[in-house]
Amino acid sequence: MHLIIAEKNIAAQRIAGFLSSSGKPKTEKDNNVSIYRFDDKVALGLRGHVVEVDFEEGYKNWRSETHTPRTLIDAGIIRKPTEKKIVALIKKLSKKADLVTIATDYDREGELIGKEAYEIVREANKKVPVNRARFSAITKQEISAAFDNPAEIDFDLAAAGEARQEIDLVWGASLTRFISIAAKRGGKNILSVGRVQSPTLAMIVDREKEIGEFVPVPYWMLSIISEKDKEQFEARHTHGRFDLKEEAESALSGTKEPVEVTEKKEGSRTDKAPAPFDTTGYIVAASRLGLSASNAMRVAEDLYMNGYISYPRTDNTVYPDSLDIKGILNEIKKSFRRDTEWVIANIRDTPTKGKKTSTDHPPIHPTGAAKPADLDEKSWKVYELIVRRFLATLSPDARWKTLKYLLNAGGEEYTSTGQRLEYEGYRMVYPYSQAKEQVLPDLSEGEKLPLVDTVLEEKETQPPPRYSQSKLIQQMEELGLGTKSTRHEVIGKLISRRYVEDNPLKPTQVGMAVTESLEKHATLITKPDMTKTIEDHMEEIKRSSRSKEEAVNESRGMLNQIFDDLEKNEEAIGEEIMDRTAEERIVGKCPVCNSNLMIRTTKGMAQFVGCTNYPDCSFNLNLPSVQWGKAIRDDDNICDQHNLHHVKLIRAGARPWEIGCPLCNHIRSNIEALEMMDSVSPEIIRRMHENHIYSVFEISKLPVAEIASKMNFSDKQAFEFKKEAEGVLEELRKRSEVKKFVRKTIPPKKGRSHSKVSNGLFSLGITDLGRLSCANKDSLKSLKLNDEEAEKLIFEAKLIHNKGIFKEVGIPAISVNKYFKAGFIGPNDLSTTHPAYLSYKSGINIDTVHKHVSIICENNGIAPPAGMSRKTFEKGRTELMSLKSFEEEMLEKMYYAGVLNFKTLIEADADRLAKITGITRKKIMDFKKEAENNK
DNA sequence: GCAAGGTC
């Protein structure tokens, strides 16, 4: 059997299709991995890398005393499977194989992925021959050729890839750990460092600095408006930019009618049809359609998976000769008939070419016809873009006619340029670039025209713009940072680490602080040059003029030197970062003491804005807890009234929640509770706010004397005011108990949210669990609860409420639970049931039961039943059990009826006892007689 | 818990 291993499932499927004699391989699933069988061959797809590098055992703990971040540099490196099912399947199939062909992508990483598969094959089968098929596109022609002329795995090329992996791991992991620990950050807040991400972040930080340091310089532009045959046109002064206003003004005053045409230049310009799409080119074009880099890649991936376009991750901008361009045109003609026919009729000699050729995949092009109805709106826009780009690369260049006039007005020289599309060319089918026609009237040299207007504009030089995602990706590509598949992910990583934010990209304080620390102490990792060096070394490894070990060890040496410096400065680095990031949490000045107000989080989940002068100043403002998102300062918005930065809560996968000004928010969220206090009026609220008191809670915490002086109250008034606040707090506490209870007890339904039910209860006057526990079932109908739910709500409330009462009088929770379990859920159940029965049912011994019953009775003003010792109780039980034909289960019934020994049996009324216990009167009479005799 | 690189 011949085993064929491709880089991914789809590739395996298509390769099998091209190689099979019938054209229809048999698809099977083995442990959820697809395999394709045909002609005694099996094709199987990997999922890219199926193993990953990691450190050997013993380096898991970040804060280990012995295995510090530095020790990672020389730690042993292992490779461990990440796709266990695929690895197992390869082993299983290898055992039966008599030939294995590695058919991974034709690039360095593909060679490494292939070598990984080779190692797995070898583990299971030492002898089977393994060869390598190389192809640049999965077309019938290339695949057949590759399998007809198989080659060998290039182990040197794979080793080059391994060197890259090991260097990235060692640098990334050791520096990430070091800087995170120095800045005391863990969990989700770690500070990551890497060969690609750190230089990328540095680019964004550098740009931000340039913008910050930019000093705008004013300049002046002068132009005139003239006309011919009522058609106006504009001309600019040939001096261009005037740096001095006086010069511009003197040129303006020198400008006089008539405007004379001194020169006319006509020409033409070729407007080249665009090159085929590689990944970067595609992302840039898609961003003009409003797609972010990661969205663009996701949509393209989806189109690829459905067979509409070719593989979207490619560095190639030159169509390979094997590409069946006519075939593709025929296919897309189904969806773009007119455009395709035009292209076929006007096709250029050879398709356009870009600057980059590579062996991995062809440029992105359509592979199948889609109709708008097959795709969602966004996918269709992208598909159309890719089809039109493909058509454009086969279309003739466009041509523009250009026209330039030189004009003289009173000795001042002006110029006007125009252009007109002479031949549309590729623009017929590719309407995405917005070059505009600029039409000028037809003038001849020597012609004199009127001066309609003059325009003197003051302008300013502009700072460079922040990077957009697509611009950054282009820049990364230029510097060799990342790959076609990872560049957009790197940006995502910087955002999720909170190093950068917004679009265009802006660094945060954390991003800047980390970059500056690294630039100071580990410059190498912040520069694109590191990637270049690694590339050079990889090239040498590939040519076997350097060994992998040599390259990795050289890199380790450099990293060790860096750590000499880092470890010396660990404390300073940590403090620098922590100081800088603290700044990001300051929202403004404390209205009480004018210190800084800062966003803080307690050890639990609570977040608030508090004064940095605490405990001397206790001013603080509540924020929603972390579960709603992490509170961060909104740099762009400041409250007009309180002069504080707005705050927003950010949470992965959710839109930011704009809290607005934290003080306004605090006032807003406390006003309702304040208004529950009878003595609160708008005037009182005004006085409170003046003294920075905003909530009922704050009133309850203030000393009476302070309330009196701040609010201008008498001591008695202040005392009452505080008491009232405490009352409201208690009321609120009970309400929140009810809310919590409702959430726990009743499942939410459409139109009946938890808060609707709670608020409904409040409006019925049911504001605590006690009231709910004795509510009428029917009165809850208005809350859209069915009978069963209303009953449940009341019953559960009773349980909780009564538990509270039991607890209050001093019955321990363990006993209460036993009573509840036995079905005694209220104080009345205890006071009206015989202690013997209570004890029997609950399993609590009689002394204890008696104590509990006495407590309840005392509290209700009832005389407690006579006491009974455990010994007496047990003796009575033995007596009853000794009766002839007395059965165990009768005990329960007797206890229930208050019969617990011979004495009480003899005293009991036989008829009543028979009725309660359901035991026949005759039997009871027998028992009574026997008891009498044995007394 | 860390990188960058594949792929989903």
CB A358 within 8 A of CB A108: no
Instruction: Find the residue closest to B4 using CA and C1' atoms.
Output: A168
Task: Identify nearest nucleotide to residue A63 by CA to C1′ distance.
Answer: B1
- Relative orientation angle of helices A469-479 and A293-305, to the nearest 10 degrees: 80
Through-space separation of residue A348 CA and nucleotide B2 C1' in angstroms: 52
Through-space separation of residue A584 CA and nucleotide B4 C1' in angstroms: 30
Q: Report the alpha-carbon distance of residue A392 to residue A398 in Å, rounded.
A: 10
Through-space separation of residue A528 CA and nucleotide B4 C1' in angstroms: 14
Q: Is cis: bond before A363, omega within 30 of 0?
A: no
The CA-atom distances, in angstroms, between A729 and each of A546, A716, A720, A742, A813 are 76, 20, 14, 20, 27
CB A170 within 8 A of CB A73: yes
Task: Identify nearest nucleotide to residue A9 by CA to C1′ distance.
Answer: B7
Q: Report the alpha-carbon distance of residue A230 to residue A263 in Å, rounded.
A: 21
Does the nearest atom of strand B lie within 7 Å of A304's Cβ? Answer: no
Q: Is A453 exposed, middle or buried (0-12, 13-18, 19+ CB in 10 A)?
A: exposed
Give the global pTM: 0.72
Q: Which residue in A748, A847, A858, A745 sits closest to A793, CA to CA? A: A745
Stretches in chain A below the pLDDT threshold 70: 604, 652-655
Is A311 catalytic? The answer is yes
Positions of chain B reached by protein Cβ under 7 A: 1-8
CB A295 within 8 A of CB A372: no
CATH number given to A279-396: 1.10.290.10
Does the nearest atom of strand B lie within 7 Å of A358's Cβ? Answer: no
* Strands (DSSP E) found in A40-169: 41-45, 51-55, 77-81, 99-103, 130-132
- DSSP assigned state of A355: S
Class level of CATH domain A2-47+83-153: alpha beta
Q: Report the alpha-carbon distance of residue A512 to residue A520 in Å, rounded.
A: 12
Does the nearest atom of strand B lie within 7 Å of A67's Cβ? Answer: no
Q: Report the alpha-carbon distance of residue A730 to residue A822 in Å, rounded.
A: 33
CB A522 within 8 A of CB A516: no
Does the nearest atom of strand B lie within 7 Å of A82's Cβ? Answer: yes
Through-space separation of residue A65 CA and nucleotide B3 C1' in angstroms: 23
* Strands (DSSP E) found in A694-805: none
A658 strand-pairing partners: A648
Q: Which residue in A88, A155, A94 sits closest to A126, CA to CA? A: A94
Task: Identify nearest nucleotide to residue A185 by CA to C1′ distance.
Answer: B1
Does the nearest atom of strand B lie within 7 Å of A10's Cβ? Answer: yes
CB A102 within 8 A of CB A131: yes
3-state secondary structure A444-477: CCCCEECEEEEEEEEEECCCCCCCCHHHHHHHHH
Query: Does residue A612 sit in helix, strand or coil?
Result: coil
Does the nearest atom of strand B lie within 7 Å of A50's Cβ? Answer: yes
Does the nearest atom of strand B lie within 7 Å of A47's Cβ? Answer: yes
Through-space separation of residue A830 CA and nucleotide B4 C1' in angstroms: 70
Does the nearest atom of strand B lie within 7 Å of A313's Cβ? Answer: yes
Based on C-alpha coordinates, what's the Rg of chain A?
42
Positions of CATH 3.40.50.140 in chain A? 2-47+83-153
Query: Does residue A242 sit in helix, strand or coil?
Result: strand
The CA-atom distances, in angstroms, between A191 and each of A67, A323, A482, A505 are 19, 46, 19, 18
Instruction: Find the residue closest to B8 using CA and C1' atoms.
Output: A47
Through-space separation of residue A353 CA and nucleotide B5 C1' in angstroms: 28
Give the per-residue pLDDT at A120: 97
Give the per-residue pLDDT at A917: 86
Task: Identify nearest nucleotide to residue A195 by CA to C1′ distance.
Answer: B3
Q: Which of A311, A467, A499, A895 is catalytic?
A: A311
Q: Is A766 exposed, middle or buried (0-12, 13-18, 19+ CB in 10 A)?
A: buried
Through-space separation of residue A309 CA and nucleotide B5 C1' in angstroms: 23
CB A541 within 8 A of CB A156: yes
Q: Which residue in A163, A149, A76, A147 sits closest to A112, CA to CA? A: A163
Task: Identify nearest nucleotide to residue A164 by CA to C1′ distance.
Answer: B4
Does the nearest atom of strand B lie within 7 Å of A490's Cβ? Answer: yes
Does the nearest atom of strand B lie within 7 Å of A8's Cβ? Answer: yes
Does the nearest atom of strand B lie within 7 Å of A138's Cβ? Answer: no
CB A721 within 8 A of CB A685: no
Q: Report the alpha-carbon distance of residue A19 to residue A103 in Å, rounded.
A: 13
Q: Report the alpha-carbon distance of residue A483 to residue A354 in Å, rounded.
A: 18
CB A200 within 8 A of CB A472: yes
Query: Does residue A713 sit in helix, strand or coil?
Result: coil
For the segment(s) A218-272+399-460, the CATH number from 3.30.210.10, 2.170.190.11, 3.30.70.141, 2.70.20.10 is: 2.70.20.10
Does the nearest atom of strand B lie within 7 Å of A535's Cβ? Answer: no
Contacts of residue A591, defined as CB under 8 A and 6 or more positions apart, other chains included, come to A619, A642, A663, A692
Through-space separation of residue A499 CA and nucleotide B4 C1' in angstroms: 18
Q: How many CB atoms lie within 10 A of CB A50?
A: 19
Q: Which residue has the tokens 């391994």?
A: A162
* Strands (DSSP E) found in A398-438: 398-409, 412-423
Give the per-residue pLDDT at A871: 82
Q: Report the alpha-carbon distance of residue A757 to residue A689 in Å, rounded.
A: 33
Through-space separation of residue A575 CA and nucleotide B1 C1' in angstroms: 22
Does the nearest atom of strand B lie within 7 Å of A477's Cβ? Answer: no
CATH 1.10.460.10 fits A164-214+466-578, yes or no: yes
Q: Which residue in A586, A583, A580 sits closest to A647, CA to CA? A: A586
Task: Identify nearest nucleotide to residue A301 by CA to C1′ distance.
Answer: B8
Through-space separation of residue A53 CA and nucleotide B2 C1' in angstroms: 12
Q: Report the alpha-carbon distance of residue A316 to residue A706 in Å, rounded.
A: 76
Task: Identify nearest nucleotide to residue A311 by CA to C1′ distance.
Answer: B7
CB A843 within 8 A of CB A837: no
Task: Identify nearest nucleotide to residue A490 by CA to C1′ distance.
Answer: B4
Give the per-residue pLDDT at A58: 94
Q: Report the alpha-carbon distance of residue A896 to residue A912 in Å, rounded.
A: 12
For residue A185, which amino acid is it? R
Q: Report the alpha-carbon distance of residue A77 to residue A552 in Å, rounded.
A: 11
Through-space separation of residue A224 CA and nucleotide B3 C1' in angstroms: 59
Strand order across the beta sheet in which A586-589 lies: A586-589, A596-601, A607-611, A620-623
Cα torsion angle, A161, A164, A170, A176, sign: negative
Positions of CATH 1.10.460.10 in chain A? 164-214+466-578
Q: Is A77 exposed, middle or buried (0-12, 13-18, 19+ CB in 10 A)?
A: middle
Q: Which of residues 192-211 of A touch strand B (CB under 7 A)?
A: 192-198
Does the nearest atom of strand B lie within 7 Å of A486's Cβ? Answer: yes
Give the per-residue pLDDT at A447: 95
The per-residue pLDDT for range A228-258, each reduced to its tens digit, is 999 999 999 999 999 999 999 999 999 999 9
Q: Report the alpha-carbon distance of residue A45 to residue A2 in Å, rounded.
A: 14
The per-residue pLDDT for range A301-339, each reduced to its tens digit, is 999 989 899 999 999 999 999 899 999 999 999 999 999
Q: Which residue in A256, A12, A223 sits closest to A117, CA to CA? A: A12
Does the nearest atom of strand B lie within 7 Å of A393's Cβ? Answer: no
Task: Identify nearest nucleotide to residue A166 by CA to C1′ distance.
Answer: B3
3-state secondary structure A805-824: HHHHHCCCHHHHHHHHHCCC
- DSSP assigned state of A431: T
Structure tokens at A708: 């009196």
Give the per-residue pLDDT at A117: 97
Q: How many CB atoms lie within 10 A of CB A726?
A: 14
Positions of CATH 2.70.20.10 in chain A? 218-272+399-460
Does the nearest atom of strand B lie within 7 Å of A274's Cβ? Answer: no
Through-space separation of residue A606 CA and nucleotide B1 C1' in angstroms: 23
Q: How many CB atoms lie within 10 A of CB A38?
A: 19
Does the nearest atom of strand B lie within 7 Å of A294's Cβ? Answer: no
Task: Identify nearest nucleotide to residue A304 by CA to C1′ distance.
Answer: B8
Taking each continuous run of H as one helix and of E as one strand, the counts in chain A are: 35, 24
Positions of CATH 1.10.290.10 in chain A? 279-396
Through-space separation of residue A533 CA and nucleotide B6 C1' in angstroms: 22
Structure tokens at A392: 């454009």
Does the nearest atom of strand B lie within 7 Å of A68's Cβ? Answer: no
Element (H, E) at A2: strand A2-6
CB A74 within 8 A of CB A166: no
Q: Which of residues 104-123 of A touch strand B (CB under 7 A)?
A: 105, 107, 109, 113
Instruction: Find the residue closest to B1 using CA and C1' atoms.
Output: A187
Instruction: Find the residue closest to B6 using CA and C1' atoms.
Output: A48
For residue A349, which amino acid is it? D
For residue A837, which amino acid is it? Y
Through-space separation of residue A479 CA and nucleotide B5 C1' in angstroms: 18
CB A875 within 8 A of CB A886: no
Report the Cα–Cα distance between both ends of chain A, in Å, rounded.
96
CB A844 within 8 A of CB A838: yes
Q: Is A436 exposed, middle or buried (0-12, 13-18, 19+ CB in 10 A)?
A: exposed
Element (H, E) at A387: helix A377-393
Q: How many CB atoms lie within 10 A of CB A683?
A: 8
Does the nearest atom of strand B lie within 7 Å of A53's Cβ? Answer: yes
Task: Identify nearest nucleotide to residue A165 by CA to C1′ distance.
Answer: B4
Q: Report the alpha-carbon distance of residue A634 to residue A649 in Å, rounded.
A: 10
Does the nearest atom of strand B lie within 7 Å of A54's Cβ? Answer: yes
